[in-house]
Structure 1
């Protein structure tokens, strides 16, 4: 039974991934969330058996919660964790200019989006090593691309910076994990129609009014296909949900 652990699983893309994975009776899925009492998670718990679905508490803003979360997950994963999907992230100031960036908020974005994934991967690596698939997925964004930065200069400045940091960590760590046969994937899930992102909508409305976000369902289906098809690489690429390679 393939196993998946998805962080940030109570809403948006994370919830969509968990929901889609649970529709396959062959999968065992762990939802890692800040609030296990969230209505979306309780609903899934009522729909799917404990033999295929578990919930653990994990908060990216509280590093001390990560190791206990990995210990809790290990109770459900005697054969290891096939797919670690680090999806949780925050974006507090998508519409901020360089003149209006709140530095305290920026620090928190860095803590959650760039630093916390290091500890998440570190703590869950022993479980990944035990598994058959051995895949680590870091959800990133095209807004973190250095090559495309001039074209997206005023879009989600701080969020993009945190994801650029994540990208360099992913690319460096992937070369190390490659030696162990662990596949690392940095993945842009697309501009998705979720409850967040009004700043992004406003930005695109001014520059490309005909551009529309994709649905969560479309993003999830595409993303899971890319994850499934991902191969072991030493020099990893930044992939779009479509499977296309994006510039770093």
Structure 2
């Protein structure tokens, strides 16, 4: 059986870790966990996750604000680990640290969110593009959010003047990738409001006890979209974890 290769950023915790765990448990899989600090405890603990038969995990350093980390990671994967293609790349790493309205959002905070959530996936995509094109079914997934939607903004009336625009950049890039590459499956996956550190912090910021979905629910929905999705069924769409579609 052909080995399927996944690369996931922000892989040491939250949704990223859940995705690593889900894919790594399958047989004949290589999961590349891209993390900010490979030596950190949360990154090191990934090695203890259960592995399917003939599956293995590779950890590489990718810090989202670094223009050079993704390229260096690709060189390591090719030269040290013999990776000659990537099948599925999931741009998951992001930040959500501010809940300001437009008239009060600090510009340095907005700039930081755009650097991580907007520029980071572009740095990643440009570096992985040659290996992704070698897949029989190249799949590029951005972990996005309805908070970055323009057409459906009124359905998520939360203050997010830093996070929302940064996700709108990601959405545009991922959708454009679909139209620029006829063989790609490229779409945005929304994890909902998962009970991660980031999700629960956001919930408390708007007066809730905790976020709505378990990590398992969110991750399972994303994995289902990746496994079953085709260019025709999910391409260029903003897909919610429950299988529904959200307006751009």
Task: Verify same fold: TM over 0.5.
Answer: yes
Distance 2:241 2:75 in 1: 31
What 5-or-longer segments of structure 1 have no aligned partner?
A: none
Segments of structure 2 that go 5 or more residues without pairing to the other structure are none
Equivalent residue in structure 2 for 1:11, among 13, 18, 26: 13
Aligned with 2:59 (options 55, 61, 67): 55
Instruction: Summarize the Cα distance change of 1:212–1:15 in structure 2 as closer, same or farther, 3 Å threshold.
Output: closer
**Higher normalized helix content (fraction of residues):** 1
Report if the CA contact (8 A) 1:9-1:32 is conserved: yes
> After superposition, what is the alpha-carbon deviation per residue over 1:126-166, rounded to whole angstroms, capped at 9, x for unaligned?
11111222111111111111122134343322211111121
Of residues 114-123 and 50-59 in structure 1, the stretch that sits farther from structure 2 once superposed is: 50-59
SS of the equivalent of 2:187 reads strand
Report what 2:147 is aligned to. 143
Give the 5 Å matches for 1:5-154. Answer: 5-47=7-49, 52-75=56-79, 76-93=81-98, 95-154=99-158
Q: Cα deviation per residue 1:105-137 (whole Å; 9 max; x = unaligned)? A: 110110111112112111101111112221111
Residues 14-41 of structure 1: CA deviation (Å, up to 9, x unaligned):
0111011111132110100010022232
Contact 2:29 2:55 in 1 (8 A): no
Say if 1:74 and 1:127, in contact at 8 Å, map to a contact too.
no
Structure 1 residue 47: deviation in Å?
4.7
**Distance in structure 1 (CA, Å) of the matches to 2:47 and 2:7:** 15
Q: Which residue of 1 aligns with 2:181?
A: 177
Paired residues of 1:8 and 1:32 also in contact (CA < 8 A): yes
Number of the residue aligned with 2:227: 228
Aligned to 1:237: 237
1:85 counterpart SS class: strand
Alpha-carbon distance in structure 1 between the residues aligned to 2:149 and 2:173: 14
